[in-house]
Amino acid sequence: MEWTIRLEAKTEWGEVTTYEIGAVRRSTVDLTADSVGLSLAEAKALLAELQQSIVQCQIDEHITCARVCSHCLRLRRLRDQRTRTLQTLFGTVEVAAPRIRVCNCAGTLGTIDVSSSPLSRALPDRCTGELRRLQSELGARHSFREAARLLETFLPCAPINHASVRNRLHRLSSTIEAAEAIYRSAPSRPLIHIVPRLLRRLWS
């Protein structure tokens, strides 16, 4: 038997694109316990390919929307085409991340070449929040090397090393200590006003 996995992406304006993620083949005659269902290696490979397609679709749509000038509603020009590496739970993906020129209606024409990168603003750490949270949690429960090994064993998020786990856990602890200092310096402020600020600093 053969199964083909396809991803159908539909934009908010109705355009539909289909991506072929991969295929799984099995013999139904020589069925064994090891050939039933997906293996861990197959699941990791399919998840990595699925993540690559989804992330690139998301970023393409985000870039398209970001190119629309908020003042004159015209489509801004691209300054250059570049790629950016993004770490996620389901694979390290390389995505297209162009820079966008400032619109001429902003009064910069003929003075200075100004551009911006929407992806740099959205993902300044080049890492998803979920991966950071899981690295921090495992790093708090296990040794840094063991946390990295667990992530690499069960998820297609390699390469993960103990230094990344350590650094992100230390960043978490520093953020918590900073939030405690803020609360101690202003004990009259309700904690509900401090928690959102902590979360924004923690996962930005």
Show the low-confidence residues of the chain (pLDDT under 50): 111, 192, 201-204
State the pLDDT at residue 5.
Answer: 93
Domain that holds residue 167: 127-204
The token duo for 52 is 């690559």
139 and 93 co-located in one domain: no
The token duo for 193 is 């006003």
66 and 152 co-located in one domain: no
69 and 15 co-located in one domain: yes
29 and 82 co-located in one domain: yes
118 and 137 co-located in one domain: no
9 and 78 co-located in one domain: yes
24 and 98 co-located in one domain: yes
Query: b or e along 101-122 (b: 16 or more beta carbons within 10 Å of the residue's beta carbon)?
Result: bbbeeeeeeeeeeeeebbbeee
68 and 92 co-located in one domain: yes
What Å distances lie between residue 200 and 91, 120, 176, CA to CA? Answer: 24, 16, 12
* Count of the separate structural domains present in the chain: 2
Last residue of a domain, one of 124, 152, 180: 124
Report pTM: 0.70
Mapping DSSP onto H, E and C, the string for 135-153 reads: HHHHHHHCCHHHHHHHHHH
148 and 102 co-located in one domain: no
State the pLDDT at residue 159.
Answer: 63
92 and 148 co-located in one domain: no
202 and 110 co-located in one domain: no
Q: Tell me the three state secondary structure of residue 87.
A: strand
Q: For 84-131, what is each residue's pLDDT tens digit?
A: 888 888 888 888 888 888 877 766 555 455 677 777 777 777 888 888
